[in-house]
Amino acid sequence: MAFMTEGAMGYDRAITVFSPDGKLYQVEYAERAIEKGATAVGVKCGEGVVLLVEKRFVSPLIEPRSYEKIFRIDDHVGTATSGLIGDARVLVDRARLDCQIFRLTYGEAIGVEELAKKIGDFKQMYTQYGGIRPFGASLLIGGVDHDGPQVYVTHPSGALYEFKAKAIGQNNKAVNDVLEKRYSSVGSLDDAISLSLEALGGTIEGGATRENVEMALIRTETGKFEKVPDEVIQKYLPRK
C-alpha cells in the first residue's frame, strides 16, 4: 500500500490531521510495525486461556532467557505482545499500574475487560496530540475473572475486540485461518494448547519446538497466571 503520494505528504507526517479519506497514516504505520513482529496467539476455552508467542532470535549469541514476549500483568491476567518491544514494555508497565490502582481503590482485582479498555484508552490518547506517536505494539490480553476466561486484542488506534482465539504479528493471517477452521474442536485446555501449537508451528520453519516458543496459561480453576516450563511444552508437541 503506497501512502507517500505527493498529495498525502502533510497527512503522512502529522498524527493529529486526518487525510481526505479519513485516515491517520501514523496509526496505519504503527499497525504495519506490528505485522512485522513475532507472531502471538491467544486461545480461550472453558478451562482457561493459552498465550503463545514465537521466539525469534536475531543472533545465536542472544541469551534465550532475555527474550520475553509474554508478561504477567496481575495474578489473573497476562499479555502476549507483538511489535516494538520497547513500546510493549511501556504498555505492560501501564497495565500493571492500572491493576495496582484498582486493587488499592476497590480492594479487588480488576476485570479483564476493564483492564483492556483502560489500555485501549491509553493507546488512543497517543493518536490525538502533536509531538507524540502511536504505540507500535499490540497487546493480546488474556485472563480469568468472574466472567470466566477472556481474550482481548488492543490496536494502536485504541480499538479493542474480544476473541475466542486470535493471532497477531507477522504470520497472523495463516495462523488465524487454522484457528477459524479448528476452534470448534476445542473443548479443554489441552485442546487449546494443542491447537495453538499446531497453528503457530505451521508458520515456523521446522515446526514448533520447546526452544522457539514461549507459553503461559491462566487456568479457570485457579485463576492464576503461570509461565509454562520448556519441559512441559515438550509434552504437547507432536512426536517426530
Identify the CA nearest to 100 among candidates 61, 131, 72, 128. Answer: 72
| pLDDT band per the 50, 70, 90 thresholds, residue 16 | confident
Ordered alpha helix ranges (H), 14-84: 25-35
**Cell numbers given for 192:** 487449546
Helical packing angle, 189-201 and 172-182, nearest 10°: 140
Distance CA 200, CA 179 (A): 10
pTM as predicted = 0.90
Say whether pLDDT at 104 is over 60.
Answer: yes
Q: CB-based contacts of 86: which residues, under 8 Å, 6+ apart?
A: none
**Cell numbers given for 122:** 491509553
Reported residue count of the chain is: 240
Q: Domains of the chain by range and CATH? A: 37-61+69-236 (3.60.20.10)
pLDDT digits (tens, 9 = 90+) for 151-196: 999 999 999 999 999 999 999 999 999 999 999 999 999 999 999 9
**pLDDT attached to residue 8:** 53
Distance CA 21, CA 186 (A): 41
